[in-house]
Chains A and B, each alone.
Chain A
Amino acid sequence: NAGVMQNPRHLVRRRGQEARLRCSPMKGHSHVYWYRQLPEEGLKFMVYLQKENIIDESGMPKERFSAEFPKEGPSILRIQQVVRGDSAAYFCASSPPLSYSGHTIYFGEGSWLTVV
Chain B
Amino acid sequence: DQQVKQNSPSLSVQEGRISILNCDYTNSMFDYFLWYKKYPAEGPTFLISISSIKDKNEDGRFTVFLNKSAKHLSLHIVPSQPGDSAVYFCAASARNAGNNRKLIWGLGTSLAVNP
Given A91-B43, A110-B43, A105 contacting B103 (CB threshold 8 A): yes
Give the number of chain B interface residues (Cβ < 8 Å).
24
B71 at the binding interface (Cβ < 8 Å): no
A108 at the binding interface (Cβ < 8 Å): yes
Query: Which of B43, B49, B100 sits near A56, CB closer than 8 Å?
Result: B100
B42 touches A106 (CB 8 A): no
Closest to B2 in A: A42
A104 touches B108 (CB 8 A): no
In the complex, chain A residues whose CB is within 8 Å of the CB of B66: none
Closest to B43 in A: A107
In the complex, chain B residues whose CB is within 8 Å of the CB of A108: 43
**B62–chain A nearest beta-carbon distance, Å:** 15
Scan residues 40-92 of chain A and give those whose CB is less than 8 A from a CB of chain B.
Answer: 41-43, 45, 48, 55-56, 91
CA distance A108 to B32 in the complex (A): 22
A110 touches B42 (CB 8 A): yes
CA distance A106 to B43 in the complex (A): 9
Closest to A43 in B: B105
Given A43-B44, A107-B43, A107-B44, A102 contacting B103 (CB threshold 8 A): no
Given A56-B100, A98-B101, A103 contacting B32 (CB threshold 8 A): yes
Given A104-B49, A106-B46, A110-B42, A48 contacting B32 (CB threshold 8 A): no
In the complex, chain B residues whose CB is within 8 Å of the CB of A45: 102-105
Give me the interface of B with A, judged by CB distance under 8 Å.
Answer: 32, 34, 36, 41-46, 49, 51, 89, 93, 98-108
Give me the interface of A with B, judged by CB distance under 8 Å.
Answer: 4, 6, 33, 41-43, 45, 48, 55-56, 91, 93, 98, 101-110, 112
